[in-house]
Structure 1
Amino acid sequence: MPPNSPPDDYDNAGLVAREGPHDNAQAYSVSEISAVLKRTVEDRFGHVRLRGELSGVKRAASGHLYCALKDDKAVIDGVMWRGSTARLPFRPEDGLEVVATGKLTTYPGRSKYQIVIDTMELAGEGALLALLEKTKARLEAEGLFAASRKRPLPFIPRRIGVVTSPTGAVIRDILHRLADRFPSDVLVWPVMVQGKGAAEQVAAAVRGFAELPEHGDLARPDLLIVARGGGSIEDLWSFNEEIVVRAVAESPIPTICAVGHETDTTLADFAADRRAPTPTAAAEMAVPVLADLAGFIGDLAHRQRRCAMRPVTLGRERLAARAERLPDLKTLLQPQAQKLDDLAERLRRGLKDRAAHARERLQSDSARLSVPLLRQRFLAKRDRLAAARLAPALLTKRALEDARNLDAQTRIFRSLDPKAPLKRGFVLVRGQEGALLTDQRSAMRAARLRIEFKDGEVEAVPAGGATPKPLRPRKAPLKSDKPGQQDLFG
């Protein structure tokens, strides 16, 4: 054998592969070796926990989650099936440091190994805070935390809705505080406030209150309080979930968020219309103090009464001031009383003087009223009357003038008589009250018409009225059997 000759197995190598009867190096197919590797890896690494940074996170339409876990020196692919992703307590994003629990396996289609993730957790509070900041920045960019979205709280809500746990101290503190300040109608929607499914229950409660009718026994509240007690960031994480933040921001009801203590802050606080440091403070924000409100109303009523009485008080003061300036009543009446006494005295003296003067005139006239003097005057007047002669022409002339005047007045009267034309076929139209109607418009407005002919009256109704009853004709005045007064000049 030459010194540089190959071993026997190389000597046996040829163009076509052959397997000897005692050959232990069996040839595997690619599928077989892939299956062997898969079983080996899964048996050796059936349960592992990997810590790394998420990269290339994407969710398929089927619901499966694909990602990669990496550190500064290596990277490994990961997959999370749809059933496991539904149980995730947070939303995986690139850059988050997580601890993934699952098993290692291989993917024969690409000759790669990967981890099938069953559960995924954030690697410490730092990663949790990093996720919180990313979610906050994304929602803030959408405008969910804008100040322009904040609405004022109702001054006195008729009904208050509370979303919280029904068994904790939070609901008792809220009810107790409301009862002390302003007893109100409270509607509680019980939910879980931490753990799996808490975020979905809180969001469903907020949206459920918004869907209630505005009127009725179970009417929509005027104010909503979302409350929870204090705890760690993990305990309060449900109120950082996007589903809760969006439900609070989209609620048509003004909302107060009171989650945790004064130093605790969640994303729901930024989306709410008002943040309360504690649930008790939320109750204080919701309603005013009834006693203070009653005192304020009483003060307003007192001020109103003072304003109403002030003009009266000022009027009294002005009246009293002016009354003091008026002179005394006796002082005002003294000159008039003196003048009255003076006039009374003058009247008494005047009557006395007038009576004396009348007595003197009567005494002087008595001489002229003597019987001989009156008889003499009577005889003189009788003689004068006997000497007078009455000419007939004077009486006749006066009678003719009066007769002509009477005829003229009679003709004027007959020409002005409104019933004279009735004898020539004309009629007089009167209303129901007897007023004379001279135009068509007045006749159409009247309910009934009275038409007067020369021999009587008839009732009529304008177009469309009821059929009138004929009136009885007026009876002519009875002629007296006694002869009339004779004409003095006839």
Structure 2
Amino acid sequence: MHDSLSPGPDTATLSVTELNRKVRLLLEGHFDFVWVEGEISNFAAPSSGHWYFSLKDSAAQVRCAMFRNRNQRVRFRPANGDHIRLRCRVSLYEGRGEFQLIAEYMEQAGAGALQAAFEALKTRLLQEGLFDPARKQPLPASVSRLGVITSPTGAAIHDILTVLKRRSPAIEVYILPVAVQGEGAAAQIVAAIERANRLAASGAVPLDALIVGRGGGSLEDLWAFNEEIVARAIAASALPIVSAVGHEVDFSIADMAADQRAATPSAAAEMLSPDQREQLALLAKMEADLRRAVQRKLAEARTRLDHLRSRLKHPGARLREQSQRLDELEQRLIRAQGNLLARKRGELALLESRLLAKSPAPRIQQWQRDMQRLQQRMESAVQVRLQGARRQLAHLAQMLDSLSPLSTLSRGYAIVTDQSGKVLADAAQVEPGDTVEARLARGSLRLNVLETRPAAEGEDRE
């Protein structure tokens, strides 16, 4: 007979480790993410990069841990005495059996009023139906012109342009610069959305979609994207809008109103740009789907075989035959899978070779070589013609010089003319006292005739 407080022979006894693990799983499975506010104490930041601290109020405290991959996103350095708000998971540290919170996000507690306003606006717009998935537009299958509404100097535009350059450099990006925080930022964002829609509607800039967003920050930094006027402008946009506000843990009213929400600006760019490697990814997916289909068929065949085996008292030769048949089918399926993959790879290689064969580059290079060859021939022909012309010109100049009266004058002869310019060939053509002009090789003389002498008998006359 057993004592009522003693375990019976069938009662399971847990080790401390098992008990702590069950309690941890119970806590983590029961609680979703919770927000907790309090004051930091016993803050420690060891070399691992993790943070350990207590969060307390006037009546209680709880141990907290924030691991390095999460605390790197916190934009201030917490210290003992800081009043903060945590977004965290409820858990248990099994090693000490200690109840603790695993922090995912931390902000200074001053954001509490903003958080309350955020929740109130979210509830009102949700009840109004502004976030209804039925009113959201699908994103275009292909984007040629993309509008980006963000700060022109922030990290968000750099990340977006970097992703687009890597994935789809042909997409034309139109930046509509706005302030993303501070007074007037919400109005600038609304004006930019309306302007983008006007440009698209008029055909001046036929945009396909818009990205509206900014990099991460505190709730106060992101507040422009939690304004009601921004949410209504996004909901009224005829252009599909992807909201990309902050980091992965940040969530804004703009995200809920947009046609699609991206965790980061980079993710928004990826969402709207086709990756040039998608075909390879699609082929890999087809391979995986085929593999799963084969495995599913094999599993179904094995299940059926097991079922038949359970019904047969003496399976004997028939069971062995079916097993062999199953192996043959498995091998055929594997071969068929390999053949299909090989055929798809061959088709892909053929398409790549056809694409390369149609490239204009070889034809352009041949044209360039032909043009250089023709240019060289033309330059040679021009030089030959020029040299012949120079020789002909020199020859004609020499002949002209030999026939020119100037060469005669250069040997001491002169051409004498009367006052009317008539050339004098006979002394009898003038009288003493007449004025004549003698042209020399260089210059001329004006002369008075003193006397004339007739030509001697036998002198040549013209």
Q: Choose 1 or 2 for highest CA Rg.
A: 1
TM-score range, shorter chain: 0.3 to 0.5
